[in-house]
Amino acid sequence: MPPDNLIDGRAIAEQIHGETARRITALRARGVRPGLAFVRVGEDPASKVYVGMKERMSGRLGIESATHVLPEATPQAAVLELVGQLNANPAVHGILVQAPLPRHIDATVIFSTVDPRKDVDGFHPLNVGKLMLGDPTGFVPCTPAGIHELLIRTGVRIAGAEVVVLGRGNIVGKPMAAILLQKAKHADATVTLCHSRTRDIAGHCRRADIVIAAMGVAEFVKSPMIKPGATVIDVGVNRVADPAAKGGARLVGDVAFAEVQPVASRITPNPGGVGPMTIAMLMHNTVRAAEMAAGIIA
Ligand code: GUN
């Protein structure tokens, strides 16, 4: 395959930001300023980077954002108290509690406390349930929603496709499978969800028209695992030691990009594939939450 088979996540994210910006202009014309609150507990270096990127994009689009940074040792009750205040604040339309949380905090409890109407991450059980039921009034988690948009906007045929999702996490793998198996336009796929206890992952992958790698193992997906002409989506962000790199480490995806790219018909670069789409969908969800709060949409 020619080297121009890259799925340009940055360009598609920009397209979505353009659509979001127009909706923000319309909201502002009605006197509504979309607001997004970030909660970060502890000093996880990756979380700092991610929240920083989300803040900057909020600012660029005209979403009012505020970041609440709590010390690592903050008791769960104090995090719940903050979430309660944000739930009650009418200027806040979206709330994002960045994962991972410190071990003494139960993320499920925190996510269940966010007002489902402000749950722009789509992690509240009500929104998880709506996704499973195919109810479009819920919020869909940003990374799988972004991958879905990438597939749609690059014209990848999903209906009837064999899709293998690698990884069963609540943030990507499980919601990704739920999106693609719905009886709906741009879905209707046959989805196989593989995980650490799956026998013969390579065998599953080789049958797939679309492989979505989100298990967090550096360069796990190798070229013999990919059917020629398949579409490959790499969600992974893994730090691997590299004495030659700045800081002694570099970031690699879950896909061995150099060897898989020539086999795939289309593939996401990493960075520049899925990452920008996660942020685009967060901005999109926040504007939707503001439109819902303003009674513009149901
Ligand atoms: N950590 C990794 N991905 C995400 C995400 O999409 N949302 C939140 N809140 N935390 C994350």
Note the pLDDT tens digit of each residue in 46-89: 999 999 999 999 999 999 999 999 999 999 999 999 999 999 99
Q: How sure is the predictor about 3, in pLDDT bands with cuts at 50, 70 and 90?
A: low
Is 39 a member of any domain? yes
Place of tokens 């195919």: 134
Q: Are 36 and 64 in contact (CB under 8 A)?
A: yes
- pLDDT value at position 297? 86
Structural tokens at position 212: 């979505």
Q: Are 215 and 164 in contact (CB under 8 A)?
A: no
What's the mean per-residue pLDDT of the chain? Answer: 97
- pLDDT value at position 152? 98
- pLDDT value at position 170? 98
Note the pLDDT tens digit of each residue in 186-214: 999 999 999 999 999 999 999 999 999 99
CATH number at residue 90: 3.40.50.10860
Which of 128, 143, 237, 283 has most ligand 1 atoms within 8 Å of CB, for mutation?
Answer: 143
Is 22 a member of any domain? no
Note the pLDDT tens digit of each residue in 222-231: 999 999 999 9
**CA-CA distance, 237 to 230, in Å (whole number)?**
21
- pLDDT value at position 74? 98
Residue 270 and residue 148 share a domain: yes
Q: Are 275 and 240 in contact (CB under 8 A)?
A: no
Is 90 a member of any domain? yes
Is 206 a member of any domain? yes
Residue 193 and residue 156 share a domain: yes
Is 135 a member of any domain? no
**CA-CA distance, 72 to 63, in Å (whole number)?**
27
Residue 255 and residue 178 share a domain: yes
**CA-CA distance, 140 to 138, in Å (whole number)?**
6
Helix (H) / strand (E) containing 81: helix 76-88
Is 103 a member of any domain? yes
- pLDDT value at position 267? 98
Q: Are 116 and 127 in contact (CB under 8 A)?
A: yes
Q: Tell me if residue 183 is catalytic.
A: no
pLDDT of residue 2 exceeding 90, the answer is no
Note the pLDDT tens digit of each residue in 154-193: 999 999 999 999 999 999 999 999 999 999 999 999 999 9
Is 214 a member of any domain? yes
Residue 162 and residue 104 share a domain: no
Query: Please, what is the Cα angle at 54 between 253 and 169, to 5 degrees?
Result: 45
Place of tokens 């789409």: 277
Which of 49, 53, 65, 98 has most ligand 1 atoms within 8 Å of CB, for mutation?
Answer: 98
Residue 178 and residue 85 share a domain: no
Task: Report the candidate in 298, 214, 281 with the shortest Cα–Cα distance to residue 12.
Answer: 281
**CA-CA distance, 287 to 98, in Å (whole number)?**
19
Residue 260 and residue 175 share a domain: yes
Query: Is 78 close to ligand 1, i.e. is its CB under 6 Å away?
Result: no
Residue 93 and residue 162 share a domain: no
Is 6 a member of any domain? no
CATH number at residue 219: 3.40.50.720
**CA-CA distance, 183 to 223, in Å (whole number)?**
31
Residue 156 and residue 240 share a domain: yes
pLDDT of residue 269 exceeding 90, the answer is yes
Q: What is the pTM of this model?
A: 0.98
Residue 158 and residue 36 share a domain: no
Domain count, the chain: 2
pLDDT of residue 39 exceeding 90, the answer is yes
**CA-CA distance, 136 to 134, in Å (whole number)?**
6
Helix (H) / strand (E) containing 17: helix 9-29
Residue 162 and residue 268 share a domain: yes
Residue 240 and residue 160 share a domain: yes
- Tell which atom from ligand 1 comes closest to the C-alpha of 143: 6
Query: What is the amino acid identity at position 97?
Result: V
Give the domain extent around 219.
Answer: 142-275
Residue 270 and residue 146 share a domain: yes
Note the pLDDT tens digit of each residue in 105-157: 999 999 999 999 999 999 999 999 999 999 999 999 999 999 999 999 999 99
What pairing do the DSSP bridges indicate for beta strands 210-213 and 162-166? parallel
